[in-house]
Chain A
Amino acid sequence: MRTVVCIKQVLQLGDEVEFTDDGLDVDPEYLDPALNEWDSFATEEALQLRERLGGEVVVVTCGPKQSEAALRRCLAMGADRAIRVEGAGRDPFSVARALAGVVRGESADLVLCGVQSSDAVQAATGTALAELLDLPRAAVITRLDYSGAGTAVVDRELEGGLIDRVEVETPAVLTIQTGINEPRYANLRAIKQAEQVEIDVRSAAGGGTPAYRIRKMFVPERGEGAEMIDGSPAEIAARIASIVKERLA
């Protein structure tokens, strides 16, 4: 049983923003890296599969050297190996092609991806990857029932509190939704050990049309926005209370 988990190091923007000189992205100084929240659930799901069925968990990311920190987070959680592929564009199709080049060689029983990344919210890379690998797929999974061979039964979380129960032939690519499990914390010793693991670095083959090109990036106009209530907590509470009482009267 081999599970490949494709992860992403997301970049989080704080209160302030400046753009790069070409205006096509946020200045990296204003961005804090982190493991994508969805991918911690995908990694946990793979680790639980390994606990039940044996085998190994391989984590793969597409990104610069800096993104190895996210791979090491997964290694500290318990993943066996890590691969980083570099030199691809950042749009979902370029990333999917770069990942496909690596994942193809792993002969995985399951490939797990997060549904989406918190910084881009595209929900596209996993499904594009499945197509490039010519594998069956299912998206937005909140429950996975798999015995290690044959078909897996999965719950897809639809809008409005409905579940689509689906049987998927394997090997398959599944995109994992938050809440499917409870991602484990890595202890300090595991984090230290993960620092020592050698990460396999590959180069993306390149080629193929990107999904899109960014023409410019900007801070959106806010419209009117909220009327901000200033003052002490007591003053804020008093104003909220009066608004609530007036509206519900």
Chain B
Amino acid sequence: MSVLVIAEHLRGQVRDVTRELITAGRELGPVTVAVIGQEPGSLVDAVNLDGVAEIVTVTIAAGEFENDAYQAAVEALIADRQPRVTLLGFTVNSMAYGPAAAVRLGLGFASDVHGVALDGDAVIATRSFYGSKVSAELDFPGADGVMLLLRPTVWAPAEGQGSASVSSLEVAAVPSRARHREIVEATTSSDVDITQADFLLSIGRGIGDKENVEMFEELAEKMGATLSVSRPLVDAGWMPSSRQVGQSGKTVKPTVYLAFGISGAVQHLAGMKTSGTIIAVNTDPEAAIFNVAQYGAKADLFDVAEELEKLF
């Protein structure tokens, strides 16, 4: 089963998810990695990893990701190499062109996939529904090929020097209707750096009200912890984005991660699941955060917080 992996890169660096895609791909068959960019040759070494059979470069005019150029390149690669499976990361960039290419080419498609298997010749993808509380197995009858967007941080990144052949594919330039201007750092540097903290006290939607932030700020100070938050608190404007843990915020790995009122959306878990010890307090016993936590308590957040404050 031939596999095409689309490398993802930003500011001249191949992103980690690419190495994870290679790991997932090589379990299915010979892997071709495509590098699409202004100077794709400079990224070839970074993807020449154990299990990669071939690397194809496609040169485009844009200095960073642009969805029209990527779509045209991926469609040309699929037409040329006829892969059974095309793997992309479930990332912000893939979201902007993957579904477009798949619907246009009549490919089977699934995103946020966290398991891939073969059943005879058929590709079976596993993904979650209903707030990660249930999983489903998907297949793709009637489709010639399949495009899967794989959830980051599920597969281990591929390592080890590879011995791939390297070639290039000419793709005719297409007009770019959404043009990259600049990359901007969204976070302010004046605040604390939560990635450096040894102990994070992290709060989420469960705290309910803006007025309750202060209580946890005080608790964090007493415990000697740094306060971090999940996305909803940043969206609500209660805390700055510099404090946000998760895929769109910071990836953290403190010795202790103590979560209050965080249900554990996939994007949040991706940013903290490798922490040393994870302790979660939540009122919902089915909260996904209990799947990655070593210790959990189903309890009222405020009662526990109040008691905890007395102990430090």
Contact = CB atoms under 8 A, between A and B. Distances in A.
Contact of B308 (A138, A159, A227, A240): A240
Interface stretch (A54-62, A63-71, A196-204, A241-249): A241-249
B106 to A, nearest CB: 6
A163 B212 CA distance: 30
Given A131-B104, A140-B95, A213 B255 contact: no
Interface stretch (A81-89, A104-112, A218-226): A218-226
A244 to B, nearest CB: 6
A137 B178 contact: yes
Contacts of B111: 121-124
B230 to A, nearest CB: 12
Contact of B183 (A163, A167, A238): A163
A124 B112 CA distance: 10
Interface string B176-211: 011111111111000000000011000000000000
Contacts of B96: 127, 137-140, 156
A244 B141 contact: no
Given A93-B102, A124-B95, A218-B135, 11 more contacts: A119-B131, A139-B67, A164-B65, A165-B181, A165-B182, A226-B280, A228-B295, A228-B298, A233-B299, A241-B308, A248-B199
A76 interface: no
Contacts of B171: none
Given A15-B286, A120-B129, A167 B199 contact: no
B303 interface: yes
A123 B255 CA distance: 33
Most buried by B among A223, A237, A239: A237
A215 B266 contact: no
B120 interface: no
Interface string A1-31: 0000000000111010100000000100001
Given A163-B183, A179-B235, A226-B293, A217 B136 contact: yes
Nearest to B182: A165
A103 to B, nearest CB: 15
B139 A247 contact: no
Contact of B67 (A138, A153, A217, A227): A138
B174 to A, nearest CB: 12
Nearest to B126: A220
B217 interface: no
B45 interface: no
Interface string B113-145: 000000000001100111101111111111100
Given A13-B133, A15-B286, A164 B291 contact: no
| Among A31, A169, A222, A240: residue with most chain B CB under 10 A | A240
B136 A121 contact: no
28 contacts: A17-B130, A92-B109, A93-B102, A93-B109, A119-B130, A121-B128, A121-B266, A122-B112, A123-B99, A124-B111, A137-B67, A137-B96, A157-B248, A160-B250, A161-B187, A166-B181, A209-B106, A211-B110, A212-B108, A212-B110, A218-B135, A226-B291, A228-B298, A229-B297, A233-B307, A240-B258, A243-B256, A244-B223
B38 interface: no
Main secondary structure of the interface of A (DSSP, over half): mixed
B216 to A, nearest CB: 14
A128 interface: yes
A234 interface: yes
Interface residues of A, number: 81
Contacts of B1: none
Contacts of B299: 233, 236
Contact of B109 (A124, A156, A161, A240): A124
A26 B156 CA distance: 31
Nearest to A31: B130
Given A137-B96, A233-B300, A182 B237 contact: yes
B127 to A, nearest CB: 8
B177 A168 contact: yes
A172 B179 CA distance: 13
Contacts of A239: 295
Given A124-B99, A226-B280, A227-B295, A163 B186 contact: yes
